[in-house]
Amino acid sequence: MKKLYIHPLPVRIWHWTNASGFVVLILTGLQIRYLGLIEVIPFKLAVNLHNWIGFVLIGNFFLWLLFYVLSDKIKVYHPELSPTKHFRDSFRQLKYYGYGIFKGDPNPHHVSAYHKFNAMQSMSYQIIMMLVVPIQFYTGLLLWDVKRFAGAVAFFGGVRVVDTVHVLIFIFFVGFIFVHVYLATLGHTRTAHFKAMFTGYEEVEDEAVGQS
């Protein structure tokens, strides 16, 4: 078993800031959405906390984007240009997650500093980070001050449409967090990937290191 430095410090800081911020947004969002049913903190405080954490995460997103764009780490997000290879690798990974892991089969993906995402993760994270997250931030910004952004709100079909999109993506992220945490337990130990997001070092089999 060897250790590879996979997660640079800026990425780890962004990850945990993002994770904790999204949890707060989900909890305060639930209270705002279900006013009268859920009341953990005063409603006004929930709204203010939701708004300010939202702004923090918007800033955090742009710091993440700048880090990757201005460093060679952007390579980890480079898409696979061969559709055949992408779908073949995705299918192998799906088989591993579906039943191979339960039989003790090795993970077909071998992590490295510039290849830390498997085919399924790579495509998923590109869609989430470059499309879903910006839409969520933008709809949240419109709902933050409907009067100021009345023109944009009207352009997209009104408050109900903007709010529906915001809530649907909120539901998606609730599910994503559960899936993300589950997949994080699929390392060689249940806590290996969690430790890596604190230390930066992933523990990999010697054979996998040679193939990365």
The pLDDT tens digits of the residues spanning 123-141 come to 899 999 999 999 999 999 9
pLDDT tens digits, one per residue of 74-115: 888 887 888 899 999 999 999 999 889 888 888 898 888 888
Tell me, what's the pLDDT at 206? 64
Res 65 pLDDT > 90:
yes
Res 142 pLDDT > 80:
yes
pTM for this prediction: 0.87
Report DSSP state, residue 3.
E
Tell me, what's the pLDDT at 207? 57
Task: Tell me the C-alpha to C-alpha distance, in Å, between residue 117 and each of 23, 30, 31.
Answer: 23, 31, 35
The pLDDT mean for the chain works out to 90
Greater confidence, 36 or 82? 82
Tell me, what's the pLDDT at 210? 44
| Burial of residue 117 (number of CB atoms within 10 Å: 0-12, 13-18, 19+) | middle
Question: Residue 158, by phi and psi: left (phi above 0), alpha (psi -120 to 50) or beta?
Answer: left
Pseudo-torsion of CA 55, 60, 62, 67, nearest 10°?
170
The tokens for 77 are 């997000």
Res 199 pLDDT > 80:
yes
Buried b (16+ CB within 10 A) or exposed e, 172-206: ebeeeeeeeeeeeeebeeeebbeebbeebebbbee
Question: Domains in the chain: how many in total?
Answer: 1
For residue 10, the domain's CATH number is: 1.20.950.20
Q: How many residues does the chain have?
A: 212
Query: Which domain does 29 fall in, by range?
Result: 2-211
